[in-house]
Structure 1
Amino acid sequence: MATVTFKNDIVCTLAGTEINVGDTAPVTTVVNCDPMLQDETIGGEGKVQLVVAVPSLDTGVCDAETRRFNAEAASLEGVEVITVSMDLPFAAARWCGAAGIDNIKVCSDFRNKDFANNYGVLLADGPLAGIMARVIFVVGKDGKITYKQVVPEITEEPNYEEALAAATAAC
């Protein structure tokens, strides 16, 4: 099983089915915060998705990451950007309103943790057990994973340029 660190010294194991580049992206349902409590599908064929898993929107790094992808999404032609956390949709909606998030979908995996388990990003142990690691996937139009970035230290931001280039290349 893959691992990430928290504050560089606590190793957290990732649970679920590990998905890698070339694998078919599992079709999974998460809960959107706008429109509130509507199902949103991750995976499947026919569109390019940049899927950003974050631990919680209420942390500085997740806040900065989600704001950055929201700003960048405006120039990503043909790419659906979805940020997923375990935050309740009501809390996510409040955060989105305060942060001015309007170019991406912000969703929750709180119901069944299907996304976290199906994509292998659920933290199984440590102080953050039960939430997601910081991981980015690009799902191509053919429904296959074309890019994956697991941020090794959960308190650090991802490589935005690499992820955005991968999303653009998948179009």
Structure 2
Amino acid sequence: MANITLGGNPIETTGQLPTVGTKAPDFTLTATDLSAKSNADYSGNRLILNIFPSIDTGTCAQSVRTFNEKASALDNTKVLCISKDLPFALARFCGAEGLDNVESLSDFRTGDFGKDYGITFKTGPLVPLLSRCIVVIDTDGTVLHAEQVAEIKDEPNYDSALASLA
């Protein structure tokens, strides 16, 4: 389990992120149109998984905006913004903000994504949401970069994630 903080207070997750060089776990998530999306739907693309607790917080919303801005310059790369928010909330936010370079997906149905990636909060006030993480996956499903943000209120290291694609 990972030990991270929220406002300096210790919080645990259910496991550990996949490590660089390993195969990323398969996933099935819910798109904003309520369809099921799996990693197989993105075959042949590099993936940036922007994972966060809730789109309705400032830091989470900023991470989606930032990746939306940077995503248009990335070749053969999809940015997937993942939380346990309802797909309707994710669609509302991206629609209101005019964000169309990222794709929003939800783990609200089963929670399997959070379990398989080891990032579901186990303790603290945000149980059972997902911790703030970035996972970059290459076209063959290998993890190129993995960051679990140590303080939940902080933004991820965008530059490090993007540099892993170079």
Secondary structure class of the residue paired with 1:37:
coil
Aligned partner of 1:52: which letter?
N
Aligned pairs (5 A) from 1:22-61 = 22-33=21-32, 36-42=33-39, 46-61=44-59
Would you say the 8 A contact 1:30–1:108 is kept in 2?
yes
Aligned pairs (5 A) from 1:57-68 = 57-68=55-66
Assess, with a 3 A threshold, how the Cα gap between structure 1 residues 18 and 164 changes in structure 2: closer, same or farther. Answer: closer
Greater strand percent: which structure?
Answer: 1
The superposition leaves residues 95-124 of structure 1 with CA deviations (integer Å, 9 ceiling, x where unpaired) of: 111111101111100001111111111111
Taking every aligned residue pair, what percent have the same amino acid on both sides? 39
Aligned pairs (5 A) from 1:1-171 = 1-8=1-8, 10-16=9-15, 18-33=17-32, 36-42=33-39, 46-166=44-164, 168-169=165-166
Assess, with a 3 A threshold, how the Cα gap between structure 1 residues 156 and 17 changes in structure 2: closer, same or farther. Answer: closer
| Count of matched residue positions in the alignment of Structure 1 and Structure 2 | 165
Would you say the 8 A contact 1:49–1:81 is kept in 2?
yes
Unaligned runs of 5+ in 2: none
- Inter-partner Cα distance in structure 2 for 1:22 and 1:50: 15
Would you say the 8 A contact 2:50–2:63 is kept in 1?
no
| TM-score with structure 2 setting the length | 0.94
| TM-score with structure 1 setting the length | 0.92
Unaligned runs of 5+ in 1: none
Deviates more, 1:18-27 or 1:50-59: 18-27
Secondary structure class of the residue paired with 1:123:
coil
Tell me the C-alpha RMSD between the 2 structures. Answer: 1.4
